[in-house]
């Protein structure tokens, strides 16, 4: 009779996880989901007010959620964060790069984008992920074990369909496509570079997530999606839990699309 091992493989009990951008639209449900799967989760975010609020909201529950200050654009902040966690818990098993830093002119049309703004967004976002991965990989290499999950997007895989933005006040930022595409190949690079050290590196690519966008945009988006709707933030947590678990122990360098079928057309 086959031993019943698979439920345990999906458990994150005794795992230490860090979620950058942990109080964000997707980062918060990912943090909560990892905690519900059994991990002790550090909500690593620059937003102290929301971080403390989230930690406080779950203080009386069985979930282990703790806010820690982290600025992914500052290497000293990243090192300090890692050192504090390792000092308290001796290890970091899971690192999720979910932070989404951007400038106030992020959504300017392509012809209006200032070069300095382009550079700043690439520096904060893509280069921020680079610093985080470089620093956490040093710790995971010592442990000879670890899992890194980077957040990309469907627009790191396919070109934008600008028709869905007609009649709305939104557009697809040019830097977003460049950054998210870069994250995918960077993830693949890391996966082969660190595989011999027991470190798995994968990417999650969400499709459009509903966040009170204009009704026009939502309708246009829904028509383009085989499942006929936008995603919910909490629907991204499940795939992250899977990739972080031992059930995915033979998966590295993978780009997991969570998009309601958007990229299948």
Classify residue 264: in a domain, yes or no: no
Q: Using CA atoms, how far apart are residues 150 and 32, in angstroms rounded to an integer?
A: 17
Opening angle at CA 105, ends 73 and 205, nearest 5? 60
Whether 69 is a known active-site residue: answer no
Secondary structure (DSSP) of 86-101: HHHHS---EEEE----
The rounded distance, in Å, linking the Cα atoms of 55 and 65 is: 6
* CB within 8 Å of 216: residues ≥ 6 apart: 166, 167, 168
Question: How far is C-alpha 174 from the geometric centre of its chain's CA atoms?
Answer: 20
CA distances, 70 to each of 105, 220, 236 (Å): 23, 36, 22
Whole-model pTM: value is 0.96
Within-domain flag for 1: no
Give the pLDDT score at 3.
62
CA 125 – CA 121 distance, rounded (Å)? 6
Q: Of 40, 42, 180, 245, which residue is the catalytic one?
A: 180
| Residue 193 is a catalytic residue | no
Contact (CB, 8 A) for 28 and 233: yes
CATH assignment of the domain containing 96: 3.40.50.720
- Decide if 32 is inside a domain: yes
Residue at 265 is within a domain: no
Tally the domains of the chain.
1
Instruction: Tell me whether residue 237 is in a domain.
Output: yes
Q: Is 107 a catalytic residue?
A: no
pLDDT of residue 1: 46
Using 70 as the pLDDT threshold, list the residues of the chain that sit under it.
Answer: 1-4
Q: Which of 42, 100, 155, 176 is catalytic?
A: 176
Residue 265: per-residue pLDDT = 84
Does residue 19 lie within any of the structural domains?
yes
3-state secondary structure at position 84: helix
Q: One of 31, 117, 152, 153 is an active-site residue; which one?
A: 153
Q: Residue 102 sits in which domain range?
A: 6-259
Strand partners, 17: 41, 94
Structure token pair of residue 166: 């007609």
Q: What is the pLDDT of residue 193?
A: 98
């Amino acid at each position: 009779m086959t031993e019943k091992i698979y439920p345990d493989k999906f458990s994150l009990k005794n795992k230490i996880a860090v979620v950058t951008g942990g109080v964000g639209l997707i980062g918060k449900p990912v943090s909560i989901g990892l905690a519900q799967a059994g991990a002790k989760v550090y909500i690593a975010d620059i937003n102290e007010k929301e971080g403390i609020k989230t930690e406080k909201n779950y203080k009386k529950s069985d979930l282990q959620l703790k806010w820690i200050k982290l600025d992914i654009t500052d290497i000293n902040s990243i090192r300090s964060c890692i050192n504090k966690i390792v000092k308290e818990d001796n290890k970091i098993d899971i690192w999720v790069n979910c932070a989404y830093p951007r400038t106030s002119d992020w959504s300017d049309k392509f012809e209006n984008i200032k070069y300095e703004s382009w550079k700043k967004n690439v520096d904060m976002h893509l280069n921020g992920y680079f610093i985080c991965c470089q620093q956490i990989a040093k710790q995971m290499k010592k442990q000879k074990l670890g899992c890194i999950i980077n957040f990309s997007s469907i627009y790191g895989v396919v070109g934008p369909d600008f028709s869905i933005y007609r009649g709305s006040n939104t557009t697809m930022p040019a830097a977003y496509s460049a950054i998210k595409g870069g994250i995918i190949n960077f993830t693949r690079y890391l996966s082969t570079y660190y595989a011999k050290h027991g470190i798995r590196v994968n990417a999650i690519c969400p499709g459009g997530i509903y966040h009170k966008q204009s009704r026009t945009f939502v309708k246009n988006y829904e028509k383009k999606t085989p499942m006929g709707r936008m995603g919910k933030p909490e629907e991204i947590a499940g795939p992250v839990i899977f990739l972080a678990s031992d059930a995915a122990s033979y998966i590295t360098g993978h780009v997991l699309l969570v998009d309601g079928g958007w990229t299948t057309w």
